[in-house]
Structure 1
Amino acid sequence: MKFGQQLRTSLIKDFHYYYISYDDLKSELKSRLHPHGTGSAPKTWTEEDEKAFVQVLEAELDKVFTFQKVKSGEIVRRIKVSQKDVEDVIKLLDSRRPGQEPPSEEDFEMLEEDLSDIIADVHDLAKFTQLNYTGFQKIIKKHDKQTGWTLRPVFSARLNAKPFFRHNYDGFIVKLSRLYDLVRTRGNPTQGDSSAGGSQQNFVRQTTKYWVHPDNITELKLIILKHLPVLVFNPNKEFEKEDSAISSIYYDNNDFDLYMGRLRKDEGAEAVRLRWYGGMENQQIFVERKTHREDWTGEKSVKARFALKEKNVNAFLKGEMTVEQVFEKMRKEGKKSVQEIDSLEQLAREVQYTVLTKRLQPVARSFYNRTAFQLPGDARVRISLDTELCMIREDNWDGKTRSGDNWRRTDIGIDFPFNQLPESDIVRFPYAILEVKLQTQAGQEPPEWVRELISSHLVEAVPKFSKFIHGCCTLYPNKIDLLPYWAPQMGIDIRKPITHRFGIERPNQSASVSTSDEPSDSDDDIEEISVHETERPPVPNSALPDPNQRLIEYPANGTTHPGGNGVMDEEERVSAEQQHEDYPLYDSEASDDEDEEHEHPRYPRRKSLKKTLQSIGQNALHYLSYLIPRPRSTQVEIPSLLSGTVYARKFKAPPGKRIFVPVRVEPKVYFAAERTFLSWFEFAIILSAVATTLLNFAGNTKGALLYASLGFTVTAVASLVYAAGLYLWRVRMMRTRRAVRYHEKYGPTILCLLLVVAVAVNYVGALKGEIQPGKHGKHGHS
């Protein structure tokens, strides 16, 4: 829908008079361009028109900015009042005198309603800010396009002077989370180690990753905090923005061996990174190693790490500092057990060996601000949301000195958005990354609210997304030709319509106040998008039966998921579509052009007749195909949520690039290929025995029996050659993890036809009397 309509349908009624008057600004622009009516030719835009329009625009900006500032101050005051009320109730609960009644359930319910109302106000203000900022961008773009005058850079400075859109709601969220957790647990919050990184060394979790559009970030945080508190490492310290900053330096060599291993999900593939929390002044650096393990090994992929002082990082990575020297102080202090220290030393020794032997160097830095939601000391459900994600180059390969001889570059810190860097050195990721990490027992389902969250319109599932892989493939386009499967989808808008009632609700209110709506797709309001990017709008994830699957398409030809749920994920879809070729991935070239027949005015009837005949022939072939016995896919009813138009999209890689689709290859797959080869081998042996027997019966005759024997012999040899060739090809494809179509439909058909011919010739020989029971040719005996 057009933005004006989206604004009218999405605005919050209580804030109605404080929104940007988008329609009035459009009318102002139109009336000055067409003073004599809409149908008249536009007049030249003068300086007087520009001043008048800017004056109206600034009045709107001042109105929005003032309201946002007043409303924000009101929320701050309400939080302070609620904080005092909560503290009074908790104090009464902890220090009541004998005989004094404790706070009632009604008191806690009233506090919870007040906090829920404040949470809804924060949500509404965030939506108000986002919608108004979009409105200003739209009207400025319309002005520049229609008048020929450039207002965007000038008005951007005025927007920066009244930055209503830059308000950080994280401070509100942290305070509301603590208060809501106190009220929700009735004054008994979960106690435990809030440190997510300091004391934990090994992490084994089931992790699923999602993309979140910036419009939905604040709403998502507010929804989660009602179920899980924000994880605060130091509750005695006032929250600051740098407390949520996380930076990592990823290492690789000039051949990108680690990148390729992680992309292909090779068994034992490693990723080495150095991470720190907060600003550049932090002296504790964590050296981390991620190791990928295949499921069939019975092991889980593990992230292990150890701490290192910043001053010792360069010496350790160059091999000038031994592992014993790193942990010498730790052994003397005795705060950890001998077994723990030995394990850390072994990890450090392996990391140092990998860095030196593979000649690893700093390649890319990832920076983001993380909001983690988790019960302290309870890691069964952990949700983290990474915002303002940036990937930055750290190498010196193109002649530019970035990190130099140091383990990281020092010309940047955590000053997002890093405007001092050239565009070639940085990639600003357009979405936030939501990670849902579960540690549930076998057969145990995740909490219901988590299932609703990951199936809502607020998130887009992207399984196996990796910051390291994405950073390398975007920062080094000239060095990397093999891309992850999500690369072609970066230009697709992931916003989706609301699928079910899910969002922030005020107390005693049945309808959700979520103002999420379909993204604007007006031709006047957005840039033109290529055809192949708009063939299919994003499909809601609520249709997914499994949160780890990402819905790609409902094939129009009835193809269904092998599991019978009608949905094929990315890997299965590509495997089903592609033929035998190297990395069947996605083609780099444009899609095949469809031959458009231009109707000649002199032959309309001939073309119509031709189309009719073609249609009749196609229908006849379609119905005759049902007479052929073959396995058919089960027809699965499309859920009512997706009923209607069926969309399909085929992503294209940039020219010269290939998209890698991960393929799982387990030992049983090799055994299956070997069993198939042995079955064909057995088939060939039986045919050769039949051919030998017929040849003995034929004797010296030259009739049909001899030709039947020859036919069975040819079929047996063809079976051997076909089975051996197919087995070798399949093994090679599995070793290289090619997502090819392993199903072979032509070979068995041809061999069966040869067998039918041989049997037919043998039958003809029997009819001619060349085969007589109880006799072996001329020398046979009864």
Structure 2
Amino acid sequence: MRFGKTLRNSIYPPWSGNYIDYHRLKALLREHDVTGDGSDSETTPWTEQDEEAFVEELINVQLDKVNAFQMETLQQLRERTSACETRLRPLTTTADDETPAIVNGEEKKTVASGVLEELDSITREVTELEKYSRINFTGFLKAAKKHDRKRGTRYRVKPLLQVRLSQLPFNSEDYSPLVRRLSVMYSFAREILSQGVVEIKDPAESRFGQGAYSSFKFWVHADNVLEVKTYILRQLPVLIYNPGTSKDLTTVPDDPTITSLYFDNPQFDLYTQKVARAPEAGSLRLRWTGNLQDKPAIFLEKKVVTDDDRSREVKVQLKQKHVKEFLDGEYRFDKKVHRMENMGNGESEHAESFKKDVEELQSFIKEHNLQPMLRANYTRMAFQIPGDDRIRISLDTNLALIREDSLEELRPCREANEWHRGDIDDANMEYPFSRIRTGEIARFPHALLEIKLRGSTAHNAEWIKDLMVSHLVKEAPRFSKFVHGVAQLFEDYVNSFPFWLGELESDIRRDPETAFHEEQERLAKRAEEEMAVGSFLGGKSPAARPLVGSPVHKFTDVESSSRGRQSPQVAHAQPSQRPSAPEVAPRPERDEPIQEVEEGEQAEQPVTLKRLAALFPSFPLSRANRADEAALPPGVREPGTWIKDSGPVRVETKVWLANQRTFIKWLHISILLSSLSLGLYNAAGKDNDVARALSIVYTCFAIFAAAWGWYMHEKRARLIRQRSGRDLDNTFGPIVVCIGLAVALVLNFAFKYNSTVERIRERDSLANPPTLNSTGFANQAHPWQLVNQGGQAL
């Protein structure tokens, strides 16, 4: 797609007059000239005045316009954010009497509700402003590249543009501080609105710290990072690592930088086991937050994946001065264990457990001859409701994978007697680590999103499902920083590689409409497969239990069927009646049957229909019964007008072309049948009545094929224009043609066989004339034979 069209599709309508005027720049550049040096008589030579006009428009007019609008809009967003903080401040406790300035609960909720609406508007415009900066920055580079390619023999404008861009912050603005301020206010406003609301949940579901997690990993393109952040913070607050400053809405700490130091041996056994998904595969890492010079807490963590695809973790906390001694097996926490044993109050049991963890870690290091091999450095933004860990989301950006080994004796990356690279930690190097030698670092091009869910409420959250299937993310199951880093930096040392390496260079961005249609097709196919499986289980569909095999969705079969066919349609419900999580309501009992059936038929008919629907998913009978499978939840009614029908009719070109292509196929069949019938009729003689009759039959089928194709083409075109939810397929026509041709061919074979048998009999009778029997009559002779032989016999 040309950039001009991309720019037009990316324009945010309220800001349409403030984008780069790419068309004017192309006009000043005279893009359609054959040459620019006057060698072509039909073109005007490119002069100094033309160059000055183009540079003036690009550097001074368009760039200043875009930068001024970006700065002005950002300032307005900051002022609106400050205004929201001012409106929320009376709801907080004052410094003197620790009493809120506004005590009335209804008034507080009214203020919080109004602030939430304003925060939604600010968040949306922050996302659009980031897109605005990115598309305009690309436009300036495209225009400069086009100029240098066409007029670059004497004039080059790209170096001048790059110097000018470096002086303007419109494309390098960091929106993270503003996003964190919005997140704090989102969390505070939601807390105000939730006061007095009793949450209904499963009594067996723990709220904090218990139960296993389901983890889902995704890649996020750099262009979509801010949009993903703003989408999540509307539902979850940003988890602040330093809560000491959380009371001040204007000062929020930066996202922490996390370093993970992964261990392996020179043969990379741990890596090989992890790639091969071997049972009881383990990994070991050191992890800390921030710079080592600040003496942070360092954790040594061993993680083992069990046979049932769950993980078990062993972790101890170390001080920086004890790390080397612990890795060498010389430090065993003797003082800490002795102190725990002397404390009593159940601490002796904890001491034994702690001693086992220490012994397990040290024996694991010694047994596998482990040493630091790889460093992963990244910036993490975490989202979680305080005190509720059912939904935990982390977004890692600026991921750099750095070699930490000492495999090469002549040129080691790390000193053999050290446990980390001093050149990085002593100098407090930060991303992008420009001083690291080429070949020792790999910068991951995307952000990493990990969603951890625990409990049915978290798995059924609609906004989580929408995010996981949206165009903003690309699913990356089983992605590992350790595996990816070893595969890229130690490719000469290993012989197996992860499956996602082939997708690393491809563009993971997707069009929203394309992503939506792909998800609809996936859900529809999955629903049909599960219905077929359910029919063979004697009517017991696997929908009775959540689908845990899918890496994206976890909902029942009936839900997946309804979502697969009606996801663009939103059922209208009052906010107070909308359920907190989508659940399938039980189908109401009917007091009276719709029609009377016999006793034996009543038991057989449902099973027969289910098996027909499973064996022939495209048959109209199965599709007609599928619409009534999902009942709406309590309080939700069928909408009068679907959202998909509210706007103008927009049909993709491939839909029209598919309908026309099907019609052309039917015409092809009609022409083949008519040609066959015409040839058969001409080849048949006057006495070959069978061939002439079959030619007429084939002609009828040819006419039917043409008429059926035209009828279905018009019917489907009408349904597409009406945006009908009915199925576009129909198996009647193909079945008629196939069965009719099969019957005609069988009859043709039968008639031909009978005719051949008759001819054989006549030939045999002429070759073997009949003889007279004892009575003087011929054996099975024809009448003319009796006449010819009568005189001689008498």
Normalising by the residue count of structure 2, what TM-score does the alignment of the two structures yield?
0.59
Instruction: Report the equivalent of 1:471.
Output: 485
Instruction: Report the equivalent of 2:74.
Output: 72
Matches within 5 A, 1:277-292: 277-283=289-295, 284-292=297-305
Compared CA separation, residues 467 and 643, structure 1 to 2 (3 A):
farther
Instruction: Report the equivalent of 1:447.
Output: 461
Q: CA deviation at 1:224?
A: 0.8
Instruction: Report the equivalent of 2:362.
Output: 352
Residue type at the aligned position of 1:228: L
Instruction: Report the equivalent of 2:450.
Output: 435
Instruction: Report the equivalent of 1:164.
Output: 170
Compared CA separation, residues 338 and 419, structure 1 to 2 (3 A):
same
Residue type at the aligned position of 1:415: E
Q: Deviations over 1:429-485 (max 9, x none)?
A: 1111111101115x9843111111111111111111111111110111222231111
Cα distance in 2, alignment partners of residues 342 and 289 from structure 1: 18
Cα distance in 2, alignment partners of residues 431 and 98 from structure 1: 45
Compared CA separation, residues 109 and 475, structure 1 to 2 (3 A):
same
Contact 2:453/2:459 (8 A) holds in 1: no
Which one of the candidate residues 374, 393, 397 is aligned to 1:383? 393
Query: Given the alignment of the two structures, is residue 131 of structure 1 paired with residue 135 of structure 2, yes or no?
Result: yes
Q: Deviations over 1:125-162 (max 9, x none)?
A: 11111222222333333334334466555543432222
Cα distance in 2, alignment partners of residues 23 and 642 from structure 1: 27
Cα distance in 1, alignment partners of residues 210 and 318 from structure 2: 16
Cα distance in 1, alignment partners of residues 326 and 437 from structure 2: 31
Which one of the candidate residues 264, 277, 294 is aligned to 2:307? 294
Q: Deviations over 1:648-683 (max 9, x none)?
A: xxxxxxxxxxxxxxxxxxxxxxxxxxxxxxxxxxxx
Compared CA separation, residues 420 and 239, structure 1 to 2 (3 A):
farther
Structure 2 counterpart SS, 1:486: helix
Q: CA deviation at 1:229?
A: 0.8
Cα distance in 2, alignment partners of residues 21 and 331 from structure 1: 75
Cα distance in 1, alignment partners of residues 510 and 274 from structure 2: 31
Cα distance in 2, alignment partners of residues 329 and 240 from structure 1: 38
Residue type at the aligned position of 1:425: E
Cα distance in 1, alignment partners of residues 254 and 105 from structure 2: 43
Compared CA separation, residues 7 and 174, structure 1 to 2 (3 A):
same
Query: Given the alignment of the two structures, is residue 371 of structure 1 paired with residue 381 of structure 2, yes or no?
Result: yes
Cα distance in 2, alignment partners of residues 168 and 139 from structure 1: 25
Compared CA separation, residues 204 and 50, structure 1 to 2 (3 A):
farther
Compared CA separation, residues 187 and 447, structure 1 to 2 (3 A):
closer
Instruction: Report the equivalent of 1:186.
Output: 192
Instruction: Report the equivalent of 1:116.
Output: 120
Instruction: Report the equivalent of 1:498.
Output: 512
Compared CA separation, residues 106 and 490, structure 1 to 2 (3 A):
same
Contact 2:28/2:50 (8 A) holds in 1: no
Q: By percentage of residues, which structure has more helix?
A: 2
Instruction: Report the equivalent of 2:269.
Output: 257
Q: Deviations over 1:523-582 (max 9, x none)?
A: xxxxxxxxxxxxxx9984565449xxxx99x99xxxxxx9999xx999xxxxxxxxxxxx
Cα distance in 2, alignment partners of residues 70 and 98 from structure 1: 33
Matches within 5 A, 1:572-587: none
Contact 1:90/1:187 (8 A) holds in 2: no
Matches within 5 A, 1:484-523: 484-499=498-513
Contact 2:255/2:381 (8 A) holds in 1: no
Query: Given the alignment of the two structures, is residue 419 of structure 1 paired with residue 434 of structure 2, yes or no?
Result: yes
Q: CA deviation at 1:336?
A: 9.6
Cα distance in 1, alignment partners of residues 652 and 352 from structure 2: 56
Q: CA deviation at 1:58?
A: 1.9
Cα distance in 1, alignment partners of residues 19 and 340 from structure 2: 59
Query: Given the alignment of the two structures, is residue 218 of structure 1 paired with residue 219 of structure 2, yes or no?
Result: no
Q: CA deviation at 1:29?
A: 2.6
Structure 2 counterpart SS, 1:164: coil
Contact 2:470/2:516 (8 A) holds in 1: no
Contact 1:201/1:305 (8 A) holds in 2: no
Which one of the candidate residues 309, 322, 331 is aligned to 2:332? 322
Cα distance in 2, alignment partners of residues 203 and 249 from structure 1: 28
Cα distance in 1, alignment partners of residues 143 and 104 from structure 2: 62
Unaligned runs of 5+ in 2: 197-207, 530-535, 544-548, 552-613, 627-643, 645-650, 656-794
Structure 1 counterpart SS, 2:192: coil
Compared CA separation, residues 315 and 633, structure 1 to 2 (3 A):
farther
Structure 2 counterpart SS, 1:465: coil
Instruction: Report the equivalent of 2:59.
Output: 58
Query: Given the alignment of the two structures, is residue 402 of structure 1 paired with residue 416 of structure 2, yes or no?
Result: no
Structure 1 counterpart SS, 2:398: strand
Query: What's the % identity of the aligned pairs?
Result: 32
Q: CA deviation at 1:90?
A: 3.7
Compared CA separation, residues 28 and 350, structure 1 to 2 (3 A):
farther
Cα distance in 2, alignment partners of residues 331 and 147 from structure 1: 81
Compared CA separation, residues 100 and 253, structure 1 to 2 (3 A):
closer
Q: CA deviation at 1:354?
A: 1.9
Cα distance in 1, alignment partners of residues 439 and 42 from structure 2: 44
User: How many residues are matched?
Assistant: 527
Instruction: Report the equivalent of 1:610.
Output: none
Q: Which has the larger radius of gyration?
A: 2
Query: Given the alignment of the two structures, is residue 86 of structure 1 paired with residue 91 of structure 2, yes or no?
Result: no
Contact 2:483/2:498 (8 A) holds in 1: yes
Residue type at the aligned position of 1:392: I
Q: Deviations over 1:359-397 (max 9, x none)?
A: 222211111111111111211111111111111111122
Which gives a bigger RCO, structure 1 or 2 (Cα 8 Å, sep 6+)? 1
Contact 2:28/2:53 (8 A) holds in 1: no
Cα distance in 2, alignment partners of residues 564 and 42 from structure 1: 72
Residue type at the aligned position of 2:360: E
Q: CA deviation at 1:123?
A: 1.4
Cα distance in 2, alignment partners of residues 330 and 139 from structure 1: 70
Structure 2 counterpart SS, 1:369: strand
Cα distance in 2, alignment partners of residues 335 and 34 from structure 1: 90
Instruction: Report the equivalent of 1:142.
Output: 146
Q: Deviations over 1:302-326 (max 9, x none)?
A: 2332211112111211223234357
Q: Deviations over 1:591-626 (max 9, x none)?
A: xxxxxxxxxxxxxxxxxxxxxxxxxxxxxxxxxxxx
Contact 1:455/1:544 (8 A) holds in 2: no
Q: CA deviation at 1:288?
A: 1.1
Matches within 5 A, 1:673-692: none
Matches within 5 A, 1:25-44: 25-30=25-30
Instruction: Report the equivalent of 1:3.
Output: 3
Contact 2:391/2:458 (8 A) holds in 1: no
Structure 2 counterpart SS, 1:390: strand
Instruction: Report the equivalent of 1:236.
Output: 244
Residue type at the aligned position of 2:234: K
| RMSD of aligned residue pairs (Cα, Å) | 4.4
Which one of the candidate residues 345, 352, 358 is aligned to 1:342? 352
Query: Given the alignment of the two structures, is residue 16 of structure 1 paired with residue 23 of structure 2, yes or no?
Result: no
Normalising by the residue count of structure 1, what TM-score does the alignment of the two structures yield?
0.59
